[in-house]
Amino acid sequence: MPMNRLKNPLVCSLVFVVIVLAVFQFESVVLDRLVPLDKSVKVNWIYSHAGTFDYAFVGSSAAYTGIDGKALSDTLGGSVINLGLDGTAHPEQYMVLAAFLESNDVGTIILQVDAWGLDENAYGYPFHEYLHLPYLDKPVVAEVVAERRGGRLAAWKYVPFLKYAEFNTEIGVPNVVHMIGGRQPEFDVYGSSLRNQAFNQAELEALAAAGDHHSYAWSTMRAEYFERMLDLARKKGIPVVVYLTPEYHEVLDYSPSRHQVVSYYRETVAAAGQAFLTYDDEPLCRDRLNFYNTSHLNRDGAGRFAPLLARDVLAASGRD
Amino acid sequence: MLFNSLHFAVFLPCVVIIYFATPGRWRWTWLLAASYYFYACWKIEYLALIVVSTLVDYVVARCMARAVAGRRTFLLCLSLAVNLGLLFAFKYFNFVNASVRAVFGHFDLTYSVPALDVLLPVGISFYTFQTLSYTIDVYRGKRQPEMHLGIFALYVAYFPQLVAGPIERSTRLLPQLRVVQNFDFDRLKTGLVLMLWGFFQKLVIADRMAMVVDHVYTDPQQTGGAVLLIGTYAFAFQIYCDFAGYSNIAIGTAKIMGIDLMQNFRQPYYARSIPEFWRRWHISLSTWFRDYVYIPLGGSRVRKLRLHINLLLVFAVSAIWHGAHWKFLVWGLLHGLYMVFGGLTAGWRHRCAATVGLDRLPRLQRVLGVFVTFNLVCLAWIFFRADSISDAASIVCNIFQMEGVGTVVECLTRPGRLNEVFGLSRTHLVAVAAGLAILELGHLLQMCDRLQLRALAAPTCLRWLAYIILILVIANFGIFQNPRQFIYFQF
């Protein structure tokens, strides 16, 4: 374009805006390709799989840190993958499971649930949409992100670079820096991150202090996504085993709505014709050495829990 | 409404487009409505304070023009009483009340005046000083009272500088508000470039430095001196980039609409002495105090002792302007003492420099001056940033003990440690380094006229490249999640 045309303010502004948008689009395309290569991020690691697994574990941090993949793989006698994600609630778990099942074959789905998972007041469980934004071309990811974030999906999808700019401390450049720096994932080959920490007494005391004032806010939305996971498995013909995560026994006193939540899970799972497992009465739950906080097993606890869970899963699937 | 919000990104283009589409004589109505809306987005009730302040000063100034000498003084006092009274009620009452209660408590006396349950109105210190300057100027006969209530209301509430300055003078801003500005593409470009620079300072540097500062200052007693020193340097850049960033966005916004606001910062950390620092830092406030407090007290044409007392007094008032807390007073008095001490030792320092031959090495002398001044300013910043005077004192002690050097070295080799000690990931560190390099490049351009001319004369494609790089840096490294309020909003 002749430079004298750029003296026209309108043309000049337009050309500049177009160049900026083009640069953003280019960077967006580059990052769309680079971000998934950062396998130190669990979501990228999950979405990179395309294969066959006998057992897929789905859940929140209790699954992420409490599933001993090696022990379970040995005891169950099949391949195991842990899709558990730290700080997630059922909507995100559903999205990951559905996207995973689009490119993987799974023999049995094992869903981890806990008494806090349906309580809006207990944990915020923010929806980590940013981790999934590079995967908006997956229909189920786009669908769930749209359900959770509404019209913003269109902005993230069609405004060049917006998603990487808005979440630039989480995705995009940070992934590139991780890869250049050779960051290793904090999870093992099964997708589990077993912890060595000792029991956190302060957390139990905080829970005790807050216990009397705690009010339960039932999340219908989270329950819906839980049911969608069961429905998804049914449509795919995959058996499901749902287990209530083992918690340190004293915590049961501070969880007044636990009974109601467990009843919901039990009844919903039974209605879907699947198995529901609980471990509240196991000796495992009475020893704080098995936990690093009230509701998370540590490495030792996960090792002790693995044979129990394997036994029940095999029994539930009629393979014991 | 924050400048660094989506709300403002929609608000500004709407205001500018409608502003230039409105016939000249009615533009003030649109700008005034936009300015009131801008303020009301924060808390609509407190808009009443701006309206009261506007009406009082408008009426007082008009009456002053017709009044005889004694009555003029009475009117000035009335304006001061109303404006400073509102400022006192909303900003200082609870502080004074708590201090008096503490004194009474010390002597086991009962004191039952309750605290006021009020929020500090955003920008009250800024617009109060702006209206006061107008009334004082009219009182001194430096300007005629503004007859147009709408234009005067706009002078008080003009949105780009309403909540954090620059504190404009009526002699400068009011005439500009009367002129009907045509759309000027060059002004638009200059304004946008200034805004871009401001956003870079705020989003890339200030908000990222804030992460370090908040992390390091959380538990100062348990933090090593070396870490606290880095945290304090980080705060120096945080507060500078936060406030200078705001000022640049404000100046750029106003420029788009054809209004020139005064420069508020001139690379203050390149100052070679404390007086020079104050000629470069928050210029609109420094000159306000010079014109309306320091000079009326006698300026520099008084005896030495009086001069020193005046300096301490001006800095004490300036400190209290910043916030209702003893720590601000210590911060201000420290600067006052720097000025007094600097004045007292000027001759001695010159002799020392001559003795060691430093006067023959002006560059080294300049570098030393900048280094010492920057560190003195940082020492004072500790009191500004710390939660209390005792925290600040322990930070100063820890810094002088200089423990924790090993921790800092460890952070450079272990990214996990970097996060633990400074609350920064490796990406943030890259961003901080890149950001500071660009900031200093910008300063170099601003300070060197020759470079500035060459940059302005550079081909369009090169200038565009520079702008695009800046936009990319902001998009990639700016902090957009949970936008932070500007630090000076609290004043």
Report which residue type is found at A49. H
Helix (H) or strand (E) holding B184: none
Assess whether B176 and B157 both reside in one domain.
yes
Which residue is closest to A9 within chain B, CA to CA?
B185
Position B491 pLDDT exceeds 70:
no
Is the confidence at residue A212, as pLDDT, over 60?
no
pLDDT, residue B283, reads: 94
* B157 and B241 both lie in a single domain: no
- Whether A207 contacts A119, CB under 8 Å: no
Residues B245 and B342 occupy one common structural domain: yes
Looking at chain B, the number of H-run helices and the number of E-run strands are 24, 0
Residue A3 has pLDDT above 70, yes or no: no
Q: Containing domain of residue B101, as a range?
A: 6-183
* B464–A169 C-beta distance less than 8 A: no
Domain membership of residue B327 (yes or no) is yes
Domain membership flag for residue B210: yes
Q: Report the residue from A167, A172, A178 with minimal CB separation from B481.
A: A167
- The SS3 assignment for A106 reads strand
In degrees to the nearest 10, what's the CA dihedral of A287, A293, A296, A302? -50
One domain for residues B397 and B340: yes
Q: Among B183, B218, B244, give the residue marking a domain's end.
A: B183
Q: Give the distance from CA B316 to its chain's centroid.
A: 17
Q: Are residues B291 and B172 in the same domain?
A: no
Distance from CA of B303 to the nearest CA of A (A): 57
| Domain assignment present for B218 | yes
Domain for residue B264, yes or no?
Answer: yes
For chain B, the residues whose C-beta falls within 8 A of a C-beta of chain A are 185, 188, 415, 425-428, 430, 460, 464, 467-468, 471-472, 475-481
> Which residue carries 């059922």 as its tokens?
A90
Angstrom distance (rounded) from CA A136 to CA A260: 36
> What is residue B71's predicted lDDT score, i.e. its pLDDT?
87
pLDDT over 70 (residue A319):
no
Determine the Cα–Cα distance for residues A209 and B321; give it in Å rounded to an integer: 42
Residue B487 included in any domain: no
B240 and B135 belong to one structural domain: no
For residues A124 and A114, the model is more confident at A114
When CB atoms are compared, the residue of A6, A164, A172 closest to B460 is A6
**Is the separation of the CB atoms in B311 and B299 below 8 Å?**
no
Rounded to whole angstroms, how far apart are CA atoms A271 and B315? 75
- Predicted pLDDT at B235: 95
Q: Is residue B483 part of a domain?
A: no
Q: Which residue ranges form the domains of chain A, and what is each CATH number?
A: 3-316 (3.40.50.1110)
- Nearest residue, CB atoms, A168 vs list B464, B468, B476: B476
- Distances, alpha carbon A197 to alpha carbons A184, A250, B315, B332, in Å: 20, 19, 52, 48
- Picking from A8, A169, A180, A183 by the largest number of B CB atoms within 10 A of its own CB, the best residue to mutate is A169
One domain, residues B260 and B371: yes
Question: A296-297 and A291-293: which strand pairing?
Answer: antiparallel
Region of residue B166 (left: phi > 0; alpha: psi -120 to 50; beta: else):
beta
Residues B233 and B86 in one domain: no
Last-in-domain residue among B156, B183, B210: B183
Q: Do A177 and B478 touch (CB under 8 A)?
A: no
Higher pLDDT, B159 or A207: B159
Q: How far apart are CA B93 and CA B116, in angstroms?
A: 8
Structurally, chain B folds into a number of domains equal to 2
Whether A168 and B464 lie within 8 Å, measured CB to CB = no
Would you place residue A92 in the very low, low, confident or very high pLDDT band (cuts 50, 70, 90)?
very high
ipTM of the complex: 0.79
Same domain, yes or no: B23 and B134: yes
Residue-wise DSSP of A203-267: HHHHHHHHHTT----B-HHHHHHHHHHHHHHHHHT--EEEEEPP--GGGGGG-TTHHHHHHHHHH
B308: annotated active-site residue? no
Give CA–CA dist B60/B74, Å, rounded: 10
B452: left (phi over 0), alpha (psi -120 to 50) or beta: alpha
- Would residue B243 count as lying in a domain? yes
Percent with pLDDT over 70 in chain B: 99
Could you report the per-residue pLDDT of A235-247, keeping only the tens digit for each?
Answer: 999 999 999 999 8
For residues B237 and B287, the answer to whether their CB atoms sit within 8 Å is: no
Instruction: Spot the catalytic one: B308, B322, B335, B428.
Output: B322
Last residue of a domain, one of B134, B152, B183: B183
Q: Which two tokens stand for residue B269?
A: 């950390």
CA distance A85 to B152: 59
- Which residues in chain B are closer than 8 Å to A168, comparing Cβ atoms? 475-480
Q: Give yes or no for residue B276 having a pLDDT over 80.
A: yes
Contact B480 A168 (CB under 8 A): yes
Chain B residues touching A34 at Cβ < 8 A: none
Spatial distance between the Cα atoms of B396 and B219, rounded to a whole number of angstroms: 14
**Same domain, yes or no: B206 and B136:** no
Report the alpha-carbon distance of residue A253 to residue A243 in Å, rounded.
20
Q: Which residues contact B2 (CB under 8 A, 6 or more apart)?
A: B8, B483, B485, B486
- Which residues are A111's β-sheet partners? A58, A242
For residue B292, the 8-state DSSP code is I
In whole angstroms, how far apart are CA B458 and each of A224, B453, B466? 60, 9, 11
Sign, CA dihedral B89-B90-B91-B93, equals positive
The answer to whether residue B1 sits within a structural domain is: no
Task: Give yes or no: residues B176 and B220 share one domain.
Answer: no
Query: d(Cα A61, Cα A246) in Å, to the nearest integer?
Result: 12
Chain segment B109-163, per-residue pLDDT in tens? 888 888 888 787 888 889 999 999 999 999 998 889 999 999 999 999 999 998 8
Burial A277-308 (b: 16+ CB within 10 A, else e): bbbeeeebbeebebbbbbbbbbbbbbebbbeb
Contacts of B355 (CB under 8 A, 6+ apart): none
Whether residue A28 is predicted with pLDDT greater than 70 in this model: the reply is yes
Percent of chain A with pLDDT over 90: 51
Q: Are B137 and B102 contained in the same domain? A: yes
Give dist(CA A122, CA A117) in Å, integer: 8
